[in-house]
């Protein structure tokens, strides 16, 4: 695992007014509508309870406290003293994060370039140690090391039983750690303790011999990469054992989005049998890292001569990137996209119809994909640690993450 300082283009956080304006954009309105499609009362009760808890702590600071990393406007990062989570319910648990990774969305989030309201408690990818469990929890015990998915899911509702854990029906839509009010106020992983409401459903044991730092991102970015590949590559290989994969990543060297998902996806595609993986990214450091992983890496300017591929993965987070990904999808092929922060974009539907191309845009179901991801790591078929560029101590999180936000590190992991 490399430990270094990022170089090159420096990113600047938006000012307060421009950051507030992000909450009024069309994509913000769309996300708000989706988050309120059901269980509005439950979401509001959670928010009221959190506000009342904070007010009571200020009035009568009698509850035990812990530290949690707060992200404010203009990228301000500070440790704050907050109440410790209450004892877990019968099916819940309290965990202590051991290794916390940045998500590819965290840099835009820290720069104030997303619709998520600030301030918030940061962090949603982690491996943790179990501290306390509820009376009905049998699969985890204090002292166990576990991987925590970033989405909240109960494991018992109809959606969870079908593996659609990102759309659990027991919690409001888009319930997740590390996104503040927008995520349902579940807290952030950059804290001394984290409450897990459904321990049996959510927590997976860390495989023996696996370093928590290596799989710190398994709860989101690695599983996100896997769903692009694992759901589609086997069928492509059945049709053609020589099938190749095209990954369309950043189309601009100045993008604030991270590059771990395309690099993880490339590793996974090779592990699952792809003959070749071609990654397109405008950033020279990302191309160098991709080449070190055995991928073929080119810049966006070289994409024009590339033939269509049966499986194309779009992680560009841009309208241009998605259109290019679709246009390079072969007849009867699949283009799968992580999506963008645009409310709507133009896509070549005529070309898709003529080629019979399928387009899949959506979020991952992290808990469903975790077992397959951890098996790939434990068996040595992939090494997510090769994607990590910076490792730092959790105590140094404000400085390390401030540097991550303004620099160009691909993946930063904080170690408790």
Distance CA 217, CA 102 (A): 7
At 8, the pLDDT band (50, 70, 90 cuts) reads: low
List the Cα angle 89/50/202 in 5-degree steps: 40
pLDDT in tens, 257-311: 999 999 999 999 999 999 999 999 999 999 999 999 999 999 999 999 999 999 9
Based on the domain organization, do 155 and 234 belong to the same domain?
no
Based on the domain organization, do 191 and 90 belong to the same domain?
yes
Would the pLDDT of 55 be above 90? no
CATH number at residue 276: 3.40.50.720
Please check whether residue 166 lies inside any domain of the structure.
yes
Would the pLDDT of 2 be above 70? no
**321 lies in which domain range?**
222-361
CATH number at residue 21: 3.90.180.10
Please check whether residue 369 lies inside any domain of the structure.
no
| Per-residue confidence (pLDDT) for residue 324, from 0 to 100 | 97
Mean pLDDT of the chain: 94
Based on the domain organization, do 335 and 241 belong to the same domain?
yes
Max CA pair span of the chain: 67
Based on the domain organization, do 196 and 258 belong to the same domain?
no
Q: Residue holding tokens 């387009």?
A: 359
At 3, the pLDDT band (50, 70, 90 cuts) reads: very low
| Per-residue confidence (pLDDT) for residue 208, from 0 to 100 | 96
Would the pLDDT of 61 be above 70? no
Q: Which of 48-52, 182-186, 368-372, 385-389 has the lowest mean pLDDT?
A: 48-52
- Whose CA is closest to 267, among 318, 233, 236, 310? 233
At 74, the pLDDT band (50, 70, 90 cuts) reads: confident
| Per-residue confidence (pLDDT) for residue 1, from 0 to 100 | 46
Please check whether residue 180 lies inside any domain of the structure.
yes
Based on the domain organization, do 144 and 172 belong to the same domain?
yes
The total domain count for the chain is 2
Q: Which helix (H) or strand (E) element contains residue 52?
A: helix 40-59
- Whose CA is closest to 150, among 224, 69, 220, 96? 220
Please check whether residue 23 lies inside any domain of the structure.
yes
Based on the domain organization, do 45 and 163 belong to the same domain?
yes
Would the pLDDT of 16 be above 90? no
Based on the domain organization, do 70 and 154 belong to the same domain?
yes
Across the range 67-96, mean pLDDT stands at 95
Based on the domain organization, do 142 and 112 belong to the same domain?
yes
Based on the domain organization, do 170 and 48 belong to the same domain?
yes
pLDDT in tens, 143-174: 999 999 999 999 999 999 999 999 999 999 99
Please check whether residue 7 lies inside any domain of the structure.
no
Please check whether residue 226 lies inside any domain of the structure.
yes
Please check whether residue 42 lies inside any domain of the structure.
yes
Grouping H, G, I as helix, E, B as strand and the rest as coil, residue 160 is helix
| Per-residue confidence (pLDDT) for residue 119, from 0 to 100 | 92
Give the rounded percent of residues in the chain with a pLDDT score beyond 70: 97
Pick the residue with more confidence: 291 or 75?
291
């Amino acid at each position: 695992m490399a430990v270094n300082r990022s170089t090159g283009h420096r990113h600047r956080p938006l000012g307060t007014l421009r950051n507030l304006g992000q909450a009024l954009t069309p994509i913000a309105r769309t996300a708000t509508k989706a988050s309120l499609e059901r269980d509005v009362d439950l979401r509001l009760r959670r928010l009221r309870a959190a506000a009342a808890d904070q007010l009571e702590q200020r009035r009568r600071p009698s509850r035990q406290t812990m530290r949690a990393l707060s992200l404010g406007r203009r990228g301000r990062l500070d440790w704050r003293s907050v109440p410790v989570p209450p004892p877990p319910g019968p099916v819940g648990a309290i965990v202590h994060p051991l290794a916390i990774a940045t998500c590819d969305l965290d840099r835009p989030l820290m720069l104030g370039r997303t619709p998520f309201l600030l301030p918030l408690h940061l962090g949603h990818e982690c491996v943790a140690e179990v501290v306390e469990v509820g009376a009905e929890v049998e699969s985890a015990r204090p002292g166990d090391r576990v991987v925590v998915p970033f989405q909240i899911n109960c494991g018992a509702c109809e959606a969870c039983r079908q593996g659609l854990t990102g759309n659990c029906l027991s919690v409001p839509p888009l319930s997740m750690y590390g996104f503040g009010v927008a995520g349902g106020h579940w807290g952030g992983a950059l804290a001394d303790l984290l409450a897990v409401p459904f321990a049996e459903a959510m927590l997976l044991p860390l495989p023996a011999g696996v370093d928590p730092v290596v799989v710190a991102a398994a709860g989101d970015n690695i599983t996100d990469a896997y769903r692009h590949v694992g759901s589609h590559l086997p069928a492509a290989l059945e049709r053609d054992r020589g099938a190749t994969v095209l990954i369309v990543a950043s189309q601009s060297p100045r993008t604030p989005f991270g590059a771990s998902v395309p690099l993880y996806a490339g590793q996974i595609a090779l592990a699952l049998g792809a003959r070749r993986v071609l990654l397109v990214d405008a950033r020279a450091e990302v191309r160098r890292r991709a080449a070190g992983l055995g991928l073929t890496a080119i810049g966006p300017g070289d994409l024009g001569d590339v033939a269509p591929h049966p499986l194309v993965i779009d992680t560009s987070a841009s309208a241009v990137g998605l259109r290019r990904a679709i246009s390079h999808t072969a007849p009867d092929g699949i283009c799968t996209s992580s999506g963008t922060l645009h409310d709507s974009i133009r896509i070549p539907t005529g070309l898709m119809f003529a080629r019979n191309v399928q387009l899949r845009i959506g979020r991952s179901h992290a808990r469903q994909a975790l077992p397959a991801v951890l098996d790939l790591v434990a068996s040595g078929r992939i090494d997510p640690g090769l994607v990590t560029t910076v490792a730092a101590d959790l105590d140094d999180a404000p400085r390390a993450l401030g540097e991550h936000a303004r620099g160009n590190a691909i993946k930063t992991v904080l170690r408790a």
